[in-house]
Amino acid sequence: MATAYQNLSSYDINSIPDASKMRVGIIVSEWNNFITEKLLEGACNTLEKHHVSTDHIIVHRVPGSFELTFGAQQVAKYGDVDAVIVLGCVVRGDTPHFDYVCEGVTQGVAALNATQDIPVIFGILTTDNLQQAEDRAGGKYGNKGDESAITAIKMVDFICRLKK
């Protein structure tokens, strides 16, 4: 989580494994697309910066954050990828809808991580207002897409090292 003490886009470049052979699926929510497209841009730029070929970054869109779990499951199953990143943005409103969506997608991604053979990376902003979302989608706290891409690279490397 980004705070005044931790920027989402900050990492030790020397600690990033070789990603040149990785294939990454990204599922991005169309809801709040003015935020999620910034997250997608951050994730893609970071993957490319670490030598993931643009042909190996497979992007799919789903209508909302609740649908990210199903999209991720299908890409993990049929997408021929090493990791899946889910990108979404849920902003608190005046109803409990925020709580239901956040809980559902959080539990869904956790369940996928427990049942799939590849990592599913949680790149979902759950904020109280749009300013907090903007601050974490390329604003003053960095970009959650960057953080998600680095996490995907590190988790794929983790699996590769275990299988040696």
Catalytic residue numbers read 97
Please say whether the beta carbons of 52 and 22 come within 8 A.
yes
103-116 burial, b if ≥16 CB within 10 A, otherwise e?
A: eebeebbeebbeeb
Other C-beta atoms closer than 10 Å to the C-beta of 122 total 22
Q: What span, in angstroms and rounded, lies between the C-alpha atoms of 49 and 45?
A: 6
Taking CA atoms, 100 is separated from 23, 49, 66, 82, 104, in Å, by 32, 36, 9, 29, 6
Q: How far apart are CA 99 and CA 69, in angstroms?
A: 16
**Could you tell me if 31 and 89 are in contact, meaning their C-beta atoms sit under 8 angstroms apart?**
yes
